[in-house]
Amino acid sequence: MVADYFARYDFSVATAAGGAEFDAIIAQGMPDLVILDVNMPGENGFAIARRLRAKGDVPFLMLTTEHDVVDRVVGLELGADDYVLKPFDLRELRARVDSILRRYSHARAAPATAVARSPVLVRLGDFSLDLEARCLSGANGEELELTAMEFDLLAAFARNPNRVLSRERLLDLAHNHDAEPFDRSIDVRIARLRRKIERDPSKPLLIKTMRGVGYMFVPSES
């Protein structure tokens, strides 16, 4: 049903009933986006998500059951760009897919269209965020893997230092207009970022929680 629907809107769609079929498909070339159902026969969506994320920055959206918050949190922890609850409206699914593809298209085009000038670097503790090259590097120069959404969140903080940003404002700055403002999935994403850039994620100094309001990036304490 999903494949037929997207095909009607000129998407090139391949389907897989399980992990083995999926591996055979991506061996022929990586897709622009993957829709993963958490509940599949044999290997579940989480296992495939881990394998997919290890292969590179391929966006993926997860389909989860309506009341299973754990599925949604685990999916986001694994790097999912979004999730849709079952049962779902096909139009909503397509809108979310379009939003992810626009975001990734913008991310991939940015380095090619940037004007040749000195890179805009922002210090994040022991790391450097290059806003033009869209990459995060450690002190040894090694590049850390970020999803498009993670980079957009870091960029939003970097461009608004020492300012309290609500969840709604962060979603807007990160170009994720389709997400619900009070969707706590953003908290999961912030927690994941903290594990990547904070020396002690349990006592964050760079991205601080402003209780009842949102978050604030404090470069002076890096």
Residue with tokens 């991310």: 107
CATH (one of 3.40.50.2300, 1.10.20.10, 3.65.10.10, 3.50.50.60) for 1-113: 3.40.50.2300
Instruction: Render the burial of 20-29: b for 16+ CB within 10 Å, e for the rest.
Output: eebeeebeee
Give pLDDT tens digits for 165-174: 888 788 877 7
pTM: 0.55
> Can you give the residue ranges of every domain in the chain?
1-113
Residue with tokens 């986006």: 33
What dihedral do alpha carbons 24, 143, 149, 214 form, nearest 10°? Answer: 150
Give pLDDT tens digits for 73-109: 777 777 788 888 888 899 999 998 988 888 777 555 5
